[in-house]
Structure 1
Amino acid sequence: MEWMAWTWPTAAFFGVIAILLITFTVLAIRFPETPRTGILQIETTRGDRLFITLLGSAFINLAWLGLVGENQPYALIVCFVYAAAVFRWV
C-alpha cells in the first residue's frame, strides 16, 4: 500500500470509521429505531446523526488547522463534545 502513502494516523482513522459503520449496522439490526425530531426539526436516525457528526467533525478539524495550526489532538476533544451534543439533541 505504499502507493497510497498510508500512515498510522490515516489507517487508524479509516479503521475507526469502519468500526463505527459495523457497530451502527449491528445496532440497527438488533435494536430498530424510529426516527426522532430534534433541534434541527428534521427526522433523524442513529445513522443520520453519525453522518452529521462525521461531517461536522471534519469541518471542526479543518477550522482548527486553519485557525490554531498545532495541537490537533485538542480538536479531537472538541469533536467528542460536538458528537455528544449531536447524539443528544439532534
Structure 2
Amino acid sequence: MAWMAWTWPTGIFFMVIASLLVVFTVLAARYPETPRRGVLGIETTRGDRLFITLLGSAFINLAWLGLADAAQWWALVISVVYAAAVFRWV
C-alpha cells in the first residue's frame, strides 16, 4: 500500500469511522430501539442519525475548506456541535 500515501490524520479518520460503525452495530444488537420522529418529520434510528451526521459533517468540512481561511479544527468543532444537535433533535 505504499502507493496510497497514507498519513496519520487519514488513518485516524478511517479508524474513527470504522469504530463508530462497530459501536453502533453492537448498540443495535444489545439495545434495539424503535424509530423516533424528530424535527425532520421522518422516523430515524441511531444508524440513520449517524449517517445524517457523517454526511452533514462532510459538507461542513468541505465548505470550510473552500470558504474559510481559519484552521480546519474549527470545522471539527462545528461538526461536533452539529452531531450533538442531530442526535438530540432529529
TM-score by length of 1: 0.97
Where 1:33 maps in the other structure, the secondary structure is: coil
Q: In structure 1, what is the Cα distance between the partners aligned to 2:6 and 2:55?
A: 22
- For 2:16 and 2:70, the matched residues in 1 are separated by 23
Within the alignment, does 1:40 sit opposite 2:40 as a pair? Answer: yes
1:82 corresponds in structure 2 to 82
TM-fit CA distance, 1:47: 0.2
Letter in 2 for 1:55: L
Task: Supply the AA of the counterpart residue of 2:49.
Answer: R
Consecutive unaligned residues in structure 2, runs of 5 or more: none
Alignment coverage as a number of residue pairs: 90
Amino acid at match of 1:34: T
Partner of 1:26: 26
State the one-letter code of the partner of 1:78.
Answer: I
Q: What is the identity, as a one-letter code, of the residue corresponding to 2:5? A: A
- Between the aligned residues of both structures, percent identity stands at 76
Corresponding residue of 2:63 = 63
Q: Distance in 2 between matches of 1:25 and 1:53?
A: 16
TM-score, normalised by the number of residues in structure 2: 0.97
Deviating runs (4+, > 4 A) in structure 1? none
Q: Deviations over 1:39-74 (max 9, x none)?
A: 000000000000000000000000101111440011
Moved more, 68-77 or 22-31: 68-77
